[in-house]
Amino acid sequence: MAIVKPFKAVRPHRDKVALVSSKSYEIYTPEMLNSKLAFNPYTFLHVINPGYKYHKQDISGEARFKLVHNRYLEFKEDAIFTQDKFPAFYIYQKTTATNVFCGIISATSVDDYHNNIIKKHEGTLKKRELLFENYLKNTGFNAEPVLLTYPDNDIIDRLINKYKQQRAEYEFSTTDKNSHLLWVVDNENDIHKIIETFKEIDTLYIADGHHRSTSSCLLANNLAKENPEHTGKEDYNFFMSYLLPESQLSIYEFNRFIRDLNGYSPDEFLIELDTFFIIENRGQELYKPKEKHHFCMYLNNEFYALSLRKSVINFTDALSKLDAQILYNTVLKPILGIKDLRNASKIVYSQNKSDSLELKTKVDTGEFKVSFGMLTTSINELKEIVNAGLLMPPKTTYIEPKLRSALTIYEF
């Protein structure tokens, strides 16, 4: 039984929302960030980059977090942000050149996370958990929802479609040629229908935002200990999420780039691979796998097709069948000596969404010795692994939509 709750969002005025909302802070290069800050006084980037006001970009840690809180208060004092008077759900639609994503922004339960109703498919780093928990505690708000997915549901679909016939509260386009629409669901009957429908859904899956959700839960636990009158209904017991039907998720794969061959020459490396794979030299043909357990490799100016030998297949669980795990078990760990996929400096990941030649170009520069590509992981594979209580290797999936910050803000 999934718990969802309406909340009083802090939001930009409709005439400024296109100027205020931003992509996730980590996406911007320093040059892009400075340009946005210099020419747009309304961008939310001024809030999360508060040192710009004082011409100091090197403020970090708790001092920065406190300044973020101050800039946020200034945006509220200047009426750039106002808080809704009544709790609501928010239907948000993002349209790109290839996809339409439409789901519900809601508060979701920390207890559901602890009780494994909200399930994760990736591990998190304790250092990042603590950093973001400290950020949340000092700022008092979250401006970017966690992306959760649920099985397609006719009742929710019909309700969303009803609102899509009405004029949206927000309707704007961004310079990346995406369009954005948002409707406010504050009708009591519709709110009740959403709450009751999600009570019938057994599981929500985290698609993106593992550290944000884990940090929110960590903060809730700490605040509950500090609050002698804790009831479980406080706002800190929930975190903001964007609930999207499974059929609308777009999942892409990550390429792997390796800096060295662990002492092997290219010919010796191919001999080692031959134990696990049937190897076919494709020369300069850009090979892309078309079935599971097949991989693309670029080595020494040539593409190779690698198909897993049937004699070495020994699938023991859902994770062992995953291509990213197979590559780790057969190549990255035993041959290339990469044991810690999260912290090893010799491996670099890049999402394979737009540049299919990247496997070649990054190796040809000399920075990397070999690269690997594979098929995209499906939503059913993800769910099978998660339901078995297992976790995927890092950078197995690149999932869209990527959500904008400060369309709705959740305070606690």
Residues 143 and 288 placed together within one structural domain of the fold: no
The residue type of 150 is: Y
Question: d(Cα 144, Cα 132) in Å, to the nearest integer?
Answer: 12
Residue 68: Cβ within 10 Å count: 23
Q: What is the pLDDT of residues 179-233, one digit of tens each?
A: 999 999 999 999 999 999 999 999 999 999 999 999 999 999 999 999 999 999 9
Among positive and negative, which fits the CA dihedral 189, 192, 197, 203? Answer: positive
Residues 197 and 50 placed together within one structural domain of the fold: yes
Query: In this predicted structure, what is the pLDDT of residue 76?
Result: 97
Residues 233 and 380 placed together within one structural domain of the fold: no
Residues 101 and 235 placed together within one structural domain of the fold: yes
Question: d(Cα 164, Cα 91) in Å, to the nearest integer?
Answer: 9
Three-state SS letters, 122-163: CCCCHHHHHHHHHHHHHHCEECCCEEEEECCCHHHHHHHHHH
Residues 325 and 392 placed together within one structural domain of the fold: yes
Residues 242 and 278 placed together within one structural domain of the fold: no
Query: Which pTM value belongs to this model?
Result: 0.94
**pLDDT by residue, tens only, the chain of 412 residues:** 999 999 999 999 999 999 999 998 888 988 999 999 999 999 999 999 998 877 776 777 889 999 999 999 999 999 999 999 999 999 999 999 999 999 999 999 999 999 999 999 998 889 999 999 999 999 999 999 999 999 999 999 999 999 999 999 999 999 999 999 999 999 999 999 999 999 999 999 999 999 999 999 999 999 999 999 999 999 999 999 999 999 999 999 999 999 999 999 999 999 999 999 999 999 999 899 999 999 999 999 999 999 999 988 889 999 999 999 999 999 999 999 999 998 889 999 998 776 679 999 999 999 999 999 999 999 999 999 999 999 999 999 999 999 999 999 999 9
Beta bridge partners of 405: 22
Query: In this predicted structure, what is the pLDDT of residue 313?
Result: 83
Query: In this predicted structure, what is the pLDDT of residue 107?
Result: 98
Residues 245 and 260 placed together within one structural domain of the fold: no
Q: Do 211 and 15 touch, CB atoms closer than 8 A?
A: no
Residues 119 and 231 placed together within one structural domain of the fold: yes
Residue ranges making up the domain that contains 103: 4-251+400-411
Residues 191 and 230 placed together within one structural domain of the fold: yes
- CATH number of the domain within which 261 lies: 3.30.1760
Query: In this predicted structure, what is the pLDDT of residue 129?
Result: 94
Residues 146 and 166 placed together within one structural domain of the fold: yes
Query: In this predicted structure, what is the pLDDT of residue 54?
Result: 73
Question: d(Cα 107, Cα 5) in Å, to the nearest integer?
Answer: 5
Query: In this predicted structure, what is the pLDDT of residue 354?
Result: 64
Query: In this predicted structure, what is the pLDDT of residue 59?
Result: 78
Residues 318 and 354 placed together within one structural domain of the fold: yes
Residues 26 and 173 placed together within one structural domain of the fold: yes
Three-state SS letters, the chain: CCCEECECCEEECCCCHHHHCECCHHHCCHHHHHHHHHHCCCCCHHHHCHHHHHCCCCCCHHHHHHHHHHHHHHHHHCCCEEECCCCEEEEEEEECCCCEEEEEEEEEEHHHHHCCCEECCCCCCHHHHHHHHHHHHHHCEECCCEEEEECCCHHHHHHHHHHHCCCCCEEEECCCCCEEEEEEECCHHHHHHHHHHHHCCCCEEEEECHHHHHHHHHHHHHHHHHCCCCCCCCHHHEEEEEEEEHHHCEEECEEEEECCCCCCCHHHHHHHHCCCEEEEEEECCCCCCCCCCEEEEEECCEEEEEEECHHHCCCCCCHHHCHHHHHHHHHHCCCCCCCCCCCCCCEEEEECCCCCCHHHHHHHCCCCCEEEEECCCCHHHHHHHHHCCCCCCCCCCEEECCCCECCCEEEC
- The alpha carbon of 196 is separated from its chain's Cα centroid by a whole number of angstroms, namely 27
The residue type of 77 is: E
Query: How many separate domains does the chain show?
Result: 2
